[in-house]
Every structure is written in structure tokens, then in C-alpha cells.
Amino acid sequence: MAEILIMGGINHIQLSSPLSSIHGIGPRFIQKLNKLHIETVKDLLWHFPTRYEDFSNITKIADLAPREECTIQALVKKINVRRAWHKRMFIIEAKLEDETGEIRAVWFNQTYIKNILVPGKTANFSGKVSESREGELYFSNPGYEVMTFQDKETKHTGRIVPIYPETKGLTSKGIRYLVQPILKEIEKPKESLPQKIVKQHGLLPLSEALHIIHFPETLDDALEARRRFNFEELFLLQLHLLGERARLTKEKAPALDIGVEMIKAFLETLPFELTPSQKQTLWEIMHDLNKPTPMNRLLQGDVGSGKTIIVALAAICTAHKGYQTALMAPTEILARQHYHTIVKFFPDHEEGIALLTGSESKLSYGHGLETDLKKPSLVKEIESGKVHIIIGTHALIATSKTKKERKITFPSLGLVIVDEQHRFGVRQRAELIKRKEYIPHFLSMSATPIPRTLSLTFFSDLDLSLITELPKNRKSIVTSAVPPEERTNAYTFIRNEIKKGRQAFVVCPRIEPKTEDQKLTTKELEELNIKSVKEEYEKLSKKIFPDLRVAMLHGKMSGEEKAKIMNSFVKNETNILISTSVIEVGVDVPNASIMMIEGSERFGLAQLYQFKGRVGRGEHQSYCFLFTDSSSEEVKKRLTSIVEAKNGLELAEKDLKFRGPGEFLGEGQTGMPDLAMRALQNPQLMKDARKSAEEITKKDPELLLYPDLKNAVKIFTSQIHRE
């Protein structure tokens, strides 16, 4: 590959050049690169190594030591291929020598190596030195690079070797073959950071950093190059967030003029008193709704802390001021629950409360006047402005993904509330209304606690309201990690609780069991024993609790099926509900006092905490059982942290340490996990980036003096898909 590229004469290729236009990169390679979202030269060069292997230590064979990572330069004396008699495997074995001695190298199922490392060739071999039971030293699956008299620079051996994110059929070695010759011929990339910033923070210039991050001379060089790109991305992120906040202050929103007397009147109708932090967050939200600029606020609170009643009050007050509220939930189950909660607490509300999901369309005008309408009829009522509170899923209310479903337009939308989605942009809000003279207020609610570092890094364009305590008289949930030998005792305990009239959730990581006849990867083969909803349903309903009423619920069911099963559980017609994580968010069944989580090591701590929060909502003592078949010490530590955690924020901090930001934030937020890791690894870098961004935007908010930087922010924003 490398020889073809060089012979083809890459002359001053541009960053924007498609890789398919470069001679020597064939369709099969392009297909594999596309799987990594690499299409252009820039995509490839910004596909940075995740780590490095230090093979710069070139050692003589006589000086090798067990477990040493090093490179030797040796002559191939002999090479042969044989088939292992007990496995379907080919073993390639080579005898290597230099002037000080001989050593054996072994590879598995790579028969093509025999055609590359022919006897008489000199090559570099890099890897860890292994030792057999007999005390013989050998290389197992070493990297190799055939040397010629022309070779001045190596790619895979005898140096700090970059290891990249890979995909099937495309290894780090293949990526290095592409990157090195392109780096030599690429046009000098234009510096996007202002020179003042580069000098002020001692950053490497872009062109130099780009070469070094792929092929550093030392690990310290690699760190310096990575620091340059880490700073740049954090800096661009902060410019984007500051720009969003500044743009929002220039937009107009309806100033609702909600008075204290109105709020007091609604609070007096509630059958309970708000906690101090509920009152504080309500005041903050109402204060924003009274402003002529759009609210952009995140309401955060532990599972069961009472966020729903706060957003319900915001919606009711907005309705009484003549404006509509759209409340979007991530699942139909949760949307239905929000609808019933608002109707229950505000039964006299006459301005219309609607539920609109894929399987239901209901309309309540208060005083028990609830009707099931066909969807087109309900949409017509909403678009006429008669319905003031509309509750549904994101897909139906925000962004219809099918051509059959047209987006609903709201003639007087004053407030958008989104559950468990931190962002809903200005553009998206504008699309929800016909008139463009104002932007609706925005309120996001989340039960997933966000550690302070991540909050400052990624949500600094949102104002934050915190509910810091649970409602009065809420009993703490007794939580236990259950090893295999205690499983039977736990089943007995659960049966006794159900006999008292309680109910139980059982959560499993998977819907269906995997079978060995499926085409599975090695990792998937190891996961054959992961508990699934369907097999647990069979086991619990027929063997463990045959005398109890057991049901199952999962994401592959239709909305109608899910609604029927959930309603049956709410009415206590079902004793045990076996489910996937579809019940993670918002499900409220006060009589359910037991949460049993199978394969608990398969979930993140924040997710386990969400599951735990599904119980403990009534007057009865509740229990959470974390079942695991793992004997891993790390698993024990993680589950112990759930048992001991006092609140969700404390647990989120631990979860971040255990899993890392990539898993914590979720891969769906493209580009975010890497940025989070960089911020957490170097908080000072984050502060420096933030400070520099503030200094520039203070003097030049539109970045008119920095057109290259402005363009870089635009490109960066489009790549991370944050809205």
C-alpha cells in the first residue's frame, strides 16, 4: 500500500481531498475506512491514535529479557507453516538471527506472512518477549517490517508506534501505511487558533502537532501534540457554548408575567407541601418565564425527588397565561405517566391537556371530561390553539421521522419541556411554531446526576436548578448485592413480600438469549450467560414463582402491548414484571417495593441507581437486590458503591471513575466522550480553554476578526451533533 501511494506520486494533496481520489487506495479499503467515518484526507489525519507502544528500544537478541517490549533487527533464517492438530489453527514459525544469537517468532492464522518474511530478508520485529515453560524466549505475534537499504524511517517497528481505533479488516498497521506517506505530501494545514493563543499556552503549531501525534519521537512528544489538539477542541467547544448563550439573549420569548398569587393558589391545591429545594427551583423557573428572553434551564434531581410536579406547575402557569406547553418524554410509558400525573393533580384545569403518542391520543378538559380522539382530530385541536398542554414523545411532537407523519405546529407555544435530553436548540424550538417573532422557553429535566466537571464542560450554556432532597416521609431503600449462593434466600424473601401484597420489578440486560449457533464474536461468546427477559420469564413464571402472576415487558413490543402490560401492573393485577431497561426512566408504581436486577454488573452505576429509584415511592419499605454471577473484585467494588451511596451525585462521580466519560455520557453524543476524558484528565487545560474563549468573545462575540476560527467553530459544532 505505502509503495503504491509513493509511486503514484501524492503531490500536495489537500485536507478536503476524498481518499477515493488518491491513487492506491482501493474500494475495499475505502469501505473499511467509511466504517470509521473516514472519507477525506482530513478525516484520516484527525483519526488520532488512542495509545502508543514503545518499540524504540532496539535490542540485540542476546540481551533480550522476558516480558520486555522491544524491537530486534534480524535476518529470517527459516520460516514454515503447520496446522495445530487439536485446533483449527495454522501456526507460522520463523527462526530469526542477528550477530549475537537466535530467537523464534510465532504467529497464528496469518499464513500470508510466509510470503513476506522469506528466508534471507532482514526485518524489524517488535513486541513483548515471551518465555516458554522450558525457559525458552520467543516472540508471540510480533509486529514486523521488512527493511531495505532505502528505508530511513520505520512505521511499525523500532520507534514509538501509534495504535488507532480499528474496525474489522483494518488494523492500526493498515492505518499507519496510509497515514505516513500522506503526511509527507499534504499541503501545510492552515492554523485555526489565533497565534496569540498558541503562544500564550505554549501549544505546538498545527502542522507540527499533526506530524508528531501520528509519529512521535518520544512519548513526551506525543503528549505535547495531544495537548495541542485537546486544548483546541475544548476551546472550540467553549466558543460554541458561549456563542449559544449570547445568541439566546438576543432572541425574544413571551414574558408570561406569572404572579406570586397564582403560584400560591396552585400550591394550595396540592395534597403535599413542596420541599425547600423544590420551592427554590420553582421560583428560578418562574423568574425565567417572566423574562422577555428565552429560558434555557436544566432541572436536575435524584430519582423520586419530585421534578415532575415542578414542570407540571410551570406548564399549568404557562397555560393560564394563554400559551401552550409541549412536554416531551423519551418513552410512551413515561409520556402516559406525565399525562396522568398532571390530570390527577390539576383535575379542574379546563384549557386542555393532551396525550399524543404512537399508540394513544387522549384529551382532557378537566372535571373528568376525558375523551379518546383519533390522532388527526387531536392534532387539529392542538393546532387551533384550544389545547394548552401537550404531552408526547420526541418523535411525534418534535421531529417526525416519517413522511406520513407531518410535524405539528403550535400557534402559541410558550414552553418546551424535555425529559432526559439536555438540549433542544433554538432552531428546533423555532420550527415548532408558525410565527417566528419569538422563541419558546426551554426546560430540560434529568434524574441522571452530572458530575461538576462534566457539567461545567458541556452544559455551561444551560442554567442549572437542583432539587437536593427527597420528599418528606420517604423511606430509604434497603440495597443488597446478592451472590449466587444467596439467590434462593432472595427468592424466598421476594415471595414473602408479594404475599403481603407488594409487587416486584425484575430487570434483565437483554430481551432474548444468545445462542451458540448465531455468528458471534469472541466477546459475544463470553456473554452467552447474560440473563434475558424471555428466559427469566420462562424460569420465574414456571419454576420459581409458578403460583404468582408474572408478566414481561420489552422494547420490541408495540406501544399498545406495553400500555396494557403496564396498566395491569399499576392496578396490581400482576405480581412480578420482568423488563429490560425500558422501565429505567420515570415509571411510578407506589405499590412496587422490590427491584431485582439480574446481571447487575452489565449496567452502569447511574443506570442501576435509576432502576433502584423505581421502588420506594409508596408507604412500604422497599428493597433493591443486585444479582450477579461475577466473582470479579472490580464488580464487587462497583456494586458496593451502589449499596453505600447516599445520593445520585456521589454515585455519578464514582461511575465516572469506574467507567470513564465515554460510557458515562454514552456514545450517542458523538465526539463528546473523548472531550470529556480530556477535560477530566487535565482540569487546568479546561480552565485555560474556557478563559481564552471568554476573553475572545468578550471583545469580538461574532468572531469577525477571526474568520478561520469562526469557520473552525462551525465545522466543530456540526461534527459533535449536540442538538
pLDDT surpasses 50 at 402: no
Task: State yes or no: pLDDT of 561 exceeds 90.
Answer: no
Domain check: are 450 and 537 in the same one?
Answer: no
What average pLDDT does range 147-170 have in this prediction?
71
Flag whether 199 is in a domain. no
State the Cα–Cα distance between residues 302 and 601, nearest whole angstrom.
22
Do 280 and 351 belong to one domain? yes
CATH number at residue 616: 3.40.50.300
| Domain assignment present for 422 | yes
Q: Is residue 660 part of a domain?
A: no
Own/partner pairs, 99-105, CB within 8 angstroms, 24+ separation? 99/60, 100/60, 100/61, 100/62, 100/63, 101/60, 101/61, 101/62, 102/61, 102/77, 103/61, 103/64, 103/72, 103/74, 103/137, 103/138, 103/139, 104/136, 104/138, 104/139, 105/138, 105/139, 105/142, 105/144
Q: Are 296 and 462 in contact (CB under 8 A)?
A: yes
pLDDT at 482 over 60: yes
> 323 Cβ partners below 8 Å, 6+ apart?
254, 256, 388, 412, 413, 414, 415
Residues 274 and 414 in one domain: yes
User: Residues 263-290: what's their mean pLDDT?
Assistant: 94
- Tell me, what's the pLDDT at 54? 74
Q: Is the pTM value of this prediction over 0.85?
A: no
Contact predicate 383/409, CB 8 Å: yes
CA distances from 537 to 54, 345, 492, 568, 614 (A): 51, 36, 17, 16, 20
Which of 413, 442, 467 corresponds to the end of one domain?
467
Beta bridge partners of 371: 363
The one-letter amino acid code at 405 reads E
CB neighbours of residue 561 within 10 Å: 13
Whether residue 128 is found in the same domain as residue 236: no
Does residue 586 have a pLDDT over 80? no
Q: Are residues 31 and 102 in the same domain?
A: no
Same domain? For 502 and 567 the reply is: yes
Given 419, 447, 467, the domain boundary residue is 467
Lowest-pLDDT range, 302-306, 378-382, 455-459, 611-615? 455-459
Q: How confident is the model at residue 673 (pLDDT cuts 50, 70, 90)?
A: very low
Q: Mind listing the pLDDT tens digit for each residue in 527-537?
A: 444 678 888 89
- Specify whether 385 is located in the same domain as 429: yes
The residues, any chain, with a CB within 8 Å of residue 510's CB and separated by 6 or more, are 530, 531, 532, 533, 580
Q: Per-residue pLDDT for 722 more than 50?
A: no
Identify whether residues 501 and 371 lie together within a single domain: no
Q: Stretch 384-406: mean pLDDT, rounded?
A: 70
What does the angle CA 88 – CA 91 – CA 93 come to, to the nearest 5 degrees?
175
Domain-located, residue 665 = no
Band (pLDDT 50/70/90 cuts) for residue 336 is confident
Contact of 642 with 608, CB cutoff 8 Å: yes
Cell of 671: 465526539
Average pLDDT taken over every residue of the chain:
82
Domain tally for the chain? Answer: 5
**Segments forming the whole domain that contains residue 365:** 260-467
- Classify residue 243: in a domain, yes or no: yes
Cα 334 vs. chain centroid, distance in angstroms? Answer: 21
Q: Which residues contact 502 (CB under 8 A, 6 or more apart)?
A: 591, 592, 593, 594, 620
What was the pLDDT predicted at 593?
Answer: 92
Higher per-residue pLDDT: 133 or 555:
133
Q: Taking residues 541-567, report their average pLDDT.
A: 88
The answer to whether residue 200 is domain-embedded is: no
CA dist., res. 628 & res. 331, Å (int): 28
Which CATH number goes with the domain that contains 123? 2.40.50.140
Tell me, what's the pLDDT at 78?
A: 92
Q: pLDDT digit string (tens) for 428-454?
A: 666 666 556 788 999 988 877 666 666
Domain end point (choices 130, 163, 196): 163
Q: Are residues 46 and 60 in the same domain?
A: no
Higher pLDDT, 422 or 350: 350
Tell me: do 436 and 502 sit in the same domain.
no
Helix (H) or strand (E) holding 708: helix 707-720
Q: Does 273 lie in the same domain as 379?
A: yes
- Is there a single domain that holds both residue 410 and residue 379? yes
The model's pLDDT over 298-309, given as tens digits with 9 standing for 90+, comes to 898 877 788 999
Contact 329, 341 (CB under 8 A): no
- Average pLDDT estimate for 700-704: 91
Longest pairwise C-alpha distance within the chain: 96
106 in any annotated domain: yes
What is the distance in angstroms between the CA of the first residue and the CA of the last residue of the chain?
Answer: 39
Distance CA 389, CA 315 (A): 7
Produce one character per residue of 430-444: b if its CB has 16 or more CB atoms within 10 Å, e if not.
Answer: eebbeeeebbbbbbb
Taking the C-alpha atoms of residue 586 and residue 330, their distance in angstroms, rounded to an integer, is 10
What integer is the mean pLDDT of 415-424? 76
Instruction: Note whether residue 159 is domain-resident.
Output: yes
SS3 322: coil
